[in-house]
Amino acid sequence: MTMRVVGYAYPWDVVAPGFVDRARELGVDAVAVALSYHSTRAATPWSRETSTVLAPTAALYRPVRDAGWGSLRPAAASWLPSEDPGADAVAVLNAADIPALGWIVLTHNSFLGVANPELSVMNCLGEQYPWALCPSNPETIRYCATLATEATRGLNLAGTVLEAAGQMGAVHQCQHEKTDGAWSPAVARLLSVCCCEHCAVRWSADPDEVRMALRGTVFRLIAGGESSSATPEELLPGDLATRILAGRHAATDELRRAIQEGLGEGHVTVHASPDPWATGALPGLTPATGQDVDAVVTPCWTPIDTSERTVREARAQLPANVSVGAYVTGVAATPRPELPSDAARLAAAGADELHLYHLGLAGPARWPHLQAAATAAHSAD
């Protein structure tokens, strides 16, 4: 069984000269084009006029209409010349008979989190994460459902890809990041537990006791200098971890279902991790995820042994009719000649799809490795 190959791109990549020819040469089965995205400084290695595109804020790459946004209203991509860059990109793909997927980034939005700190994730120390809209908050749910509707409105899409359809956490690039490597995996998981009032009501436990248990465990681990990978179930007293995780998963399911209601019918892919405690762009799978979506894309940017295990774990958690995608990156300062063999190994581990990041960021020096990976995916047994 061959793997389906999906390439990712920004709207400005797709409309640039040469993109369609490269996509055809690569042999992708679909292109996921960003219709909403977080702030970024993106390299443009295929351009002969620029080196980067600076997106200073998260934005909706469609016209921002008065559409019942509530208290959260996205920014428009005012730095781009088009008023509808998302539709322009989809039109280019449609004209080339390349299936287009709508790539929608949801709770990851520093622009809205800074303006509305009360709607962002709050850790056990009372600190806000402005890049992370809390998925338990009704305003976040309303915003994400409206975003899905508005991002895909009127477009000829073969499906949608949902990123950050759940909770963002403590580990994230923010400002000039100086926390990399500071926290053990155990501390990062605990600091990623949202303790806002909307999450707290889902715990079925005394909120102050939960916050104190989290806080005490965090400082004990830090003071002890432990490089712990222990799970919250191993660290927190009683069944607190079970209660916290159940609340988070309930919020994730509610958010995802509201988004899908906004999308209506169509093929839905969600980025998620088989680690139930994962937060970020690929938040943890919930027991109900496989009942609601058509495909799940798992993080495979780590060494291949770890990535194979990730694919196997995702496959084991999902129904047979839900595809498992392996998300790999061709963006690197050094060559990636291992990509083709990695694709074959991921297929053998149970991956049905290969998701390639990124058709705009991976320049000419890395293109042969993406081509070889796509070929390996299409010829996988």
Q: What is the pLDDT of residues 301-335, one digit of tens each?
A: 989 999 999 999 999 999 999 999 999 999 988 88
Structure-token match 């303790």, residue found:
195
pTM above 0.75, yes or no: yes
Calpha distance 162→172 (Å, rounded) = 18
Instruction: Give how far the C-alpha of residue 186 lies from the chain's centroid of Cα atoms, to the nearest Å.
Output: 21
Instruction: Give how far the C-alpha of residue 9 lies from the chain's centroid of Cα atoms, to the nearest Å.
Output: 14
Q: What is the pLDDT of residue 276?
A: 96
Calpha distance 93→183 (Å, rounded) = 43
* Cβ-based burial of 371 (10 A; exposed 0-12, middle 13-18, buried ≥19): middle
Closest CA to 13 of 356, 355, 360, 358: 360
| Alpha-carbon torsion (301, 60, 366, 29), positive or negative | positive
Contacts of 374 (CB under 8 A, 6+ apart): 5, 26, 27, 28, 343, 354, 356
Instruction: Locate 62 and state its tokens.
Output: 């469609």
Q: What is the pLDDT of residue 226?
A: 65
Query: Which whole-number Å values give the CA distances from 153 to 63, 65, 71, 263, in the listed order?
Result: 10, 11, 21, 9
314's enclosing H/E stretch is helix 304-317
Regions of the chain where pLDDT drops below 70: 1, 176, 226
Q: What is the pLDDT of residue 171?
A: 87
